[in-house]
Structure 1
C-alpha cells in the first residue's frame, strides 16, 4: 500500500452531505436536513476507513453492523451486496443511518475520531437509499416456510425488527398496531427534518414484499383480545414501546401552554403533513393535542435528550422568536446527540446548562409567564453512576416564556390486557423477560416475548431494532423445539 493510501484519511477530510441552508431551516423548511452523498463522495469517504483489525465501530453499534465490510463494498461500487450485508444485521438501516446518534455510537468509537471519523451514518444511508431506488429488495427465495405464524403487537422499531427476522426464518409475521400507519414514533414522533415519512412508507413496501402482513387500526384489548392471539398464533411478540411521559411534578405544569414533548411533536407532524394519518389519538393526551401558535413566542424546553432537541428545532421552524433549552447538568453530561445540539445552536437555540426547573409561573389568567430555575453544580454520582445536580442556594432566576415544553423522557407501562395473562411487570412499568430458565426476551408466559422500550425503557431506535431482531431469534428457537 502506498503512503498516499495509508494516510488517505488525512489527505481527504471527513465530509458530511450538504445541508439545507440555515435561512431555509429558520424560515420553516421541514425537509431532511442532510442530503445524500453522491457515488464519488460515498466512495471517497468509505476509503478513509482504516479497516481496523478490531473494529470498535462495529462493537459499539447496538446491532453490530459489519461496517468495515460494507464500506469496502462501497469503494468497489458493489452497492446491492452492501445493502444485503447491511440488512443481515439491521432491519432498518436507512432509518438508523438518519436518526442514530452516530457521534455517541459507531463514529464516536471510530479509530479516526480524533482526525474526523468516517461518515458511517451518511454512507449507510447512501447504500440503502441507492439500492432500494434501483429496485433492489431483500432476497428470501432460499427461505423455507415453516408453517408457523407469530403475532407482533406494535409496528414500531422493535416490532419491525422482529417481523423482519421472523420472515427471514420462514415464520409468517402478522403485525398489529392501533394506528393507521407503521413506524410508531418513527412515523409521528421524529420530525421530518430528521426522517422523511416517505422512508417509512417505502420500508412498509419492502416488508410486505418479504411476506410481512400488517393489520393497522387494530387495538389489542378492544378490537381483538390477547387471548384470541394466543389461541390463533404460535407465539406473540410485544413491542408496545414507552409512551408515558415522565412527570416532573413541577408546580404550575397544568397552566395553559405547558406541553409534554411527545404530544407536541405528534401534533406538529400532523400539521406539517397537512392531514391526520395516525387515526386515533394517544390515550390520555386528548387535551394536550392543541398546540399553540408559536410564531413570535418565547419557548422554553426543559430536558436535554434527543427528544428535547427535536422540540427546540421544531419550535424554530414554527416561527418562535426565542427558544431556550434548559438542562440541569453541564453540556458534557447531556444525553442528546452532540450533532443535534450543534444543529440546534446553529439554528438559533440558546442553551442554559446547570439550570434545574423548580416551578412554572403563570399570570392571573392562568397563562405561562416563565420558568423558575435554580443554578446547579455537579455533586456525587447517583445509583446509576451519574453526577447529581445539586442546587446552589440563592441562585434562583426566572426564564421568561410564553410556551413551556417538558421533555424529561418517557417510560413504559404494562397494558391492562397483558396483566390478565399473568405476565410479570416491574414497578417501573417494564415487562420482565428472561431469567429462570426462560429464553432471552421470553416473558413469564411461555408464548409471549417482548423487547424494545417496553422492556428497556425509553432508549434509542437502534436498540429497539436490535431487541426486536434478537427476540425473533428466540421465538424461532422455541418454535423449532
Structure 2
C-alpha cells in the first residue's frame, strides 16, 4: 500500500474553500471552490483503504472510490479519472450534487472519530482536471451497429443510457419535450449547486460522439409512441417525474402560491439568458417579498436558497418533521441557515390566509408519534398550537409524482403501477410493450440523480441483451 494513504489520524478533514454567506447571497455562482492539486492529494490521502469499503457499498453506482482516492493521492490523475468514469457517466455532476453526507461520505469508515474523507470534492477535482487536460473524449464505438434506440427523456437517466448504448455502436436518438438536454439538471437544480455550463459541456460531448438529439419533441403530440417503436429497434422511457404534488387546505387557490418547479425553472431559464416574462414582471421573483417554502427535501432547499439570491425580504422553510428526519441533505440545510433562511421545524400548514392574494400561512405545531409502515414517525397536529407566518409568496415543494404516461403517449396498453409509475419486469427492465423499456424516476419514483444514472446504465445493458437476442433469433431463422 502506498505510504501516501492512511493519513486520517494526523490530517484533518478540510472541504474546498467555501464563499462567505454575505458574498454568495448576491449571485448564483457555485459556492465551493475547487481543490488545488496539493490539497486534493492531502485529502485523498486520508482514506483508510479499508477492506470493506462502505463508501462504495453505499454508492448507487458502486464507484471504486478507494482506488481513485489512492491514485489521486499519488498524483496519478488520468488513471483516477479512468476508474471514476468507468462506473459513472457524470462524475463531475455527482461530485457537485450528490448528498454525500447520506451516501458515500456518511458511511465512510473513519467518519466516527476522524470525520469522513471529502469524497465528492475529490471526485469533482478529478473530473475537472480531466476536462482541463483533454482526457475526456467523445464516444468512439469499436464498430457501428444498424439497430437504433429511441430514448424518451434527456435527463440523467436517459443520457447515461444513451452514452452506454453509443459505446456499443447503437444509433441513439434522444427525444425531449424541452429545448435543452439535461432535464432537472438544467431546469430544476440552481446554478449555485450545478452551473449549467457543466451540464451543457457533457451533453455536447455526447452529441459529438454521435448521439442525436430531438429537442422540443413531445411524445403524444409531435410523435406517437407507436411511431417511435416502428422507427427504432428498442425504446427507453426515461422521462422522470414532473407532476407536482399538491395539498388540500383552505386558501390553496390564492394568488401568490406556486409549485416549486415553476419557480425554479423560471430562475434557471433567466440564468440561461431566456426571456422569462413571469420573472421579469415580478410574478415569480422573490425580490422584496416574504417567502414561505413548504417542504423539507432538496427541492425545498433549492427554493429557499434561490429566494435568498433573488433578494427576498425574509425566507422561511416550514417542515412537518424535525431536522433529523428531513429527507434533504443536512449540508444543504446548513448552507441555507448560513445564508439567512429561517426554519420552522415540526410545523405544518393548515391554511393560506388572504383575500385575493396570499398574505400569510397559518400553521400548527406537530408532534411526532409512533412510526408508520415505512418506519418514520407519524406527524400529529397539536391542538391549539396555530400560528401565522407573514407571507407575500408561498412555494409548495412537496415532491413529484408521475404524469399519466399512457394517456400522454396515447398508449393505453402501457401498464403502470398503483402509484402511476411505469410497471416493468425488473429482470429485463421491459414494460408491458415488447421492446419498450423504462428506467429512472418514472419507475422508482422521485429520487436522486445518481440513482437515475445507475438505472440508465442498467437499462442500456438490458436493451443490449434484448437486441442481441433478437439479432441471434433473426440469424437462426434465416
Q: Quick check: TM above 0.5? A: yes
From the superposition, tell whether residues 290 and 464 of structure 1 become closer, same or farther in structure 2 (CA, over 3 Å): farther
CA deviation digits over 1:212-261, x for unaligned, max 9? Answer: 22121222222222111111111000011111011111221211111111
Residues 1:109 and 2:121 aligned together: no
Aligned residue among 419, 422, 428 for 1:431:
422
Residues 1:327 and 2:319 aligned together: yes
1:22, CA displacement in angstroms?
A: 1.6
What is aligned with 1:398? 388
Q: 2:422, 2:141 → 1: CA distance?
A: 35
Q: 1:6, 1:191 → 2: CA distance?
A: 35
* Deviating more after overlay: 68-77 vs 122-131: 68-77
What is aligned with 1:348? 340
Residues 1:386 and 2:376 aligned together: yes
**1:136-175 paired onto structure 2 within 5 Å:** 136-138=135-137, 140-141=139-140, 143-175=142-174
CA deviation digits over 1:45-73, x for unaligned, max 9? Answer: 11000111110001101111010111111
What is aligned with 1:470? 458
1:139, CA displacement in angstroms?
A: 7.1
SS, match of residue 111 in structure 1: coil
What is aligned with 1:216? 215
CA deviation digits over 1:133-190, x for unaligned, max 9? Answer: 2111247556333322100111001101111111122222111111111100100110
Residues 1:359 and 2:351 aligned together: yes
Residues 1:414 and 2:401 aligned together: no
From the superposition, tell whether residues 116 and 229 of structure 1 become closer, same or farther in structure 2 (CA, over 3 Å): same
Residues 1:374 and 2:360 aligned together: no
What is aligned with 2:301? 309
Determine if contact 1:225/1:417 at 8 Å carries over to the other structure: no
What is aligned with 1:87? 85
What is aligned with 1:295? 287
1:211, CA displacement in angstroms?
A: 2.2
Determine if contact 2:225/2:411 at 8 Å carries over to the other structure: no
Determine if contact 2:5/2:46 at 8 Å carries over to the other structure: no
TM-score (norm 2): 0.93
From the superposition, tell whether residues 339 and 104 of structure 1 become closer, same or farther in structure 2 (CA, over 3 Å): same
- Aligned residue pair count: 466
From the superposition, tell whether residues 208 and 273 of structure 1 become closer, same or farther in structure 2 (CA, over 3 Å): closer
From the superposition, tell whether residues 292 and 230 of structure 1 become closer, same or farther in structure 2 (CA, over 3 Å): closer
1:295, CA displacement in angstroms?
A: 2.2
1:7, CA displacement in angstroms?
A: 5.7
SS, match of residue 311 in structure 1: helix
SS, match of residue 63 in structure 1: coil
**1:22-37 paired onto structure 2 within 5 Å:** 22-26=21-25, 28-37=26-35
Q: 2:240, 2:310 → 1: CA distance?
A: 28
CA deviation digits over 1:275-313, x for unaligned, max 9? Answer: 249xxx9xxxx99x9734422221111100000000000
From the superposition, tell whether residues 5 and 273 of structure 1 become closer, same or farther in structure 2 (CA, over 3 Å): closer
1:272, CA displacement in angstroms?
A: 2.8
What is aligned with 1:184? 183
**1:2-81 paired onto structure 2 within 5 Å:** 8-26=7-25, 28-81=26-79
Q: 1:444, 1:145 → 2: CA distance?
A: 29
1:88, CA displacement in angstroms?
A: 1.5
What is aligned with 1:460? 448
From the superposition, tell whether residues 68 and 399 of structure 1 become closer, same or farther in structure 2 (CA, over 3 Å): same
1:271, CA displacement in angstroms?
A: 2.4
What is aligned with 2:432? 444
Q: 1:417, 1:295 → 2: CA distance?
A: 36
SS, match of residue 9 in structure 1: coil
Determine if contact 1:153/1:176 at 8 Å carries over to the other structure: yes
Q: 1:273, 1:325 → 2: CA distance?
A: 27
* Deviating more after overlay: 37-46 vs 379-388: 379-388
1:422, CA displacement in angstroms?
A: 1.3
Determine if contact 2:346/2:367 at 8 Å carries over to the other structure: yes
From the superposition, tell whether residues 242 and 141 of structure 1 become closer, same or farther in structure 2 (CA, over 3 Å): closer
SS, match of residue 103 in structure 1: coil
SS, match of residue 111 in structure 2: coil
CA deviation digits over 1:17-39, x for unaligned, max 9? Answer: 1122221222x211011111111
Give unpaired runs (5+ residues) of structure 1: none
TM-score (norm 1): 0.93
SS, match of residue 389 in structure 1: strand
Determine if contact 1:261/1:405 at 8 Å carries over to the other structure: yes
What is aligned with 2:472? none
What is aligned with 1:479? 467
